[in-house]
Chain A
Amino acid sequence: EAGVTQFPSHSVIEKGQTVTLRCDPISGHDNLYWYRRVMGKEIKFLLHFVKESKQDESGMPNNRFLAERTGGTYSTLKVQPAELEDSGVYFCASSQVFPQARTEAFFGQGTRLTVV
């Protein structure tokens, strides 16, 4: 069974440009999460989808970030326009049910975004 897959693995863009990250969750997982790790700090929650609906986007840093999950399958995270502080590793995770329900989330390999 395929795991969580993220594209691209790396992206280097200039400040002011737009970047779109993609996440393909494990098939059948209704829950999809985006996380970000900045500058060797802790991995922080960005948002949570249940199927195609945004359940919680409290971790999104500002309105330059837009996440979508059309059809409840793959998700995209767009940063427009990118700023230097957006650099970091963006992780996607999926799960069948919430972590609270005593299951675990499966993570992708992350997309390393560098804004120069």
Chain B
Amino acid sequence: ELKVEQNPLFLSMQEGKNYTIYCNYSTTSDRLYWYRQDPGKSLESLFVLLSNGAVKQEGRLMASLDTKARLSTLHITAAVHDLSATYFCAVPMGNQFYFGTGTSLTVIP
């Protein structure tokens, strides 16, 4: 079974700081998704990474995929409060997604 490890589980960071969330997976896959969830809201798709070396950026978030290392990173630049949420990485295999445990991010003033 595909295993997806995400760390850290909890992240408290100050506004303006940078940080990286890591997502490792155990089986070859050339695609990976990042989702964000605000409390009580839907899982919102952030990035779809479709190939080795893919890098995507949206505002203060940048995601990358290294399929050889089976690693994806979500980098946060100059964090602001409205980035506080839970972030999940997910690897598709067959007809389902395999999710990481999620990273609960809190950005404090």
Chain A residues with a Cβ under 8 A of chain B? 3-4, 9, 31, 33, 35, 37, 40-45, 48, 55-56, 59, 91, 93, 98-100, 102, 104-110
Contacts and interface: CB of A to CB of B under 8 A. Distances in A.
A91 B43 contact: yes
A99 B42 contact: no
A33 B101 contact: no
B31 A102 contact: yes
B86 to A, nearest CB: 9
Interface of B: 4, 6, 9, 31, 33, 35, 40-43, 45, 48, 50, 88, 90, 92-102
Q: Does more than half of chain B's interface fall in helix, strand or loop, or is it mixed?
A: strand
Given A102-B31, A102-B50, A104-B45, A43 B88 contact: yes
A106 B45 contact: yes
B102 A42 contact: yes
Contacts of A3: 42
Contacts of B93: 100
8 contacts: A37-B102, A42-B102, A48-B95, A56-B96, A93-B43, A98-B95, A107-B35, A109-B42
A99 B102 CA distance: 20
